[in-house]
């Protein structure tokens, strides 16, 4: 299945006021797409829409509310006649031991991360069944891994994976012209830790290696035209997932190190974060205390598997030629 070129598409993006969502919105507009932006931060969305010009529209929405999500779809239809790709990006996290986190914080995180994805996916699929197009959900390597002190985040991302896989199968069974992609980023340089609800005694951060948000945006927009089932962004994250599958018990024993890697040396800045109300939006990147990778060669290769296979085949052929050539040379006595 292939879809329209980006320049002919209308793309809906939730969580578009910061981080991956904002990076994707800007990149999509730069590549010629029309975009419908959705988030809770109205002032930021208005500024971004002004920046992007007439090819952008926005809706202030809480994706945890089905009626808000339906209003996003209605805006896309009213403004651009519909949409071709829907991207569910909206998500937040909570740092701290599961036993210490208030029930209302657990509930709010699941409402946004899981129910926001469910609401967006079902509303989008209803429209795309008739028109054809792409549904892209942003999960995480936490869809496959547990992270102590981000337990409910990992729970929500595991659930997003199960939901996405099931919806994909049901759409295939009914013959719907809709591709479904799950994008699973590793640690990404976004404001996510700074906007998190934080129960720790230190400012939170993400464990390295950390990758730029533009790598995720590029993967999302690739899937909007050339669908793939799953895309992992960040080779380091892929190695973590493979290691856990190979030796799950050994991964469990890394818990103290993983907890330590999620703490900065400074005290908390804003423990309440943006979980219950929009705050600190408008930035694509955060301020991690460690080096941020420039790209992910692994992810770029997975987006173009045929080209990668060609390069690999050429390399193998050249190696074989050298070996065979060496063996065929006459020996001098």
Catalytic residues: 153
SS3 letters across the chain: CCCCCHHHCEEEEECCCCHHHHHHHHHHHHCCCEEEEEECCHHHHHHHHHHHHHHEEEEECCCCCHHHHHHHHHHHHHHHCCCCEEEECCCCCEECCHHHCCHHHHHHHHHHHHHHHHHHHHHHHHHHHHHCEEEEEECCHHHCCCCCCCHHHHHHHHHHHHHHHHHHHHHHHCCCCEEEEEEEECEECCCCHHHCEECCCCCECCCCCEECHHHHHHHHHHHHHCCCCEEEECHHHHHHHHHHHHCHHHHHCCHHHHHHHCECCCCCCCCCCCCCCCCCCCCCCCCCCCCECCCCHHHHHHHCHHHHHHHHHHHHHHHHHHHHHHHHCCCCC
């Amino acid at each position: 299945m292939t879809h329209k070129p980006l320049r002919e598409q209308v793309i809906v993006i939730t969580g578009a006021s910061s981080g991956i969502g904002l990076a994707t919105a800007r990149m999509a507009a730069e590549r010629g797409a029309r975009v419908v932006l959705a988030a809770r931060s109205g002032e930021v969305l208005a500024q971004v829409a002004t920046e992007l010009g007439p090819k952008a529209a926005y809706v202030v929405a809480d994706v945890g509310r089905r009626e808000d999500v339906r209003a996003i779809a209605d805006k896309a239809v009213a403004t651009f006649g519909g949409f071709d790709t829907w991207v569910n990006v909206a998500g937040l996290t909570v740092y701290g031991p599961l036993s210490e986190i208030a029930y209302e914080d657990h509930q709010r995180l699941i409402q946004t991360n899981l129910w926001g994805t469910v609401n967006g996916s079902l509303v989008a699929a209803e429209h795309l069944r008739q028109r054809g197009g792409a549904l892209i959900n942003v999960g995480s390597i936490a869809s496959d891994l547990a992270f102590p002190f981000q337990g409910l985040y990992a729970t929500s991302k595991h659930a997003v994976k199960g939901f996405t896989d099931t919806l994909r199968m049901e759409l295939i069974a009914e013959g719907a012209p809709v591709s479904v992609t799950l994008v699973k980023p590793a640690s990404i340089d976004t404001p996510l830790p700074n906007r998190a609800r934080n129960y720790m005694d230190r400012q939170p951060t993400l464990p390295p290696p950390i990758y730029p948000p533009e790598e995720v945006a590029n993967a999302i927009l690739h899937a909007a035209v050339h669908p793939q089932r799953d895309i992992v962004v960040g080779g380091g994250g892929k190695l973590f997932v493979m290691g856990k599958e190979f030796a799950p018990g050994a991964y469990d024993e890394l818990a103290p190190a993983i907890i330590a890697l999620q703490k900065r040396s400074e005290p908390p800045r804003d423990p309440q974060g943006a979980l219950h109300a929009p705050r600190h939006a408008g930035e694509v990147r955060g301020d991690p205390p460690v080096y941020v990778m420039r790209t992910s060669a692994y992810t770029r290769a997975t987006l173009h598997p045929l080209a990668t296979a060609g390069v690999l085949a050429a390399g193998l052929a050249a190696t074989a030629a050298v070996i065979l050539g060496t063996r065929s040379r006459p020996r001098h006595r």
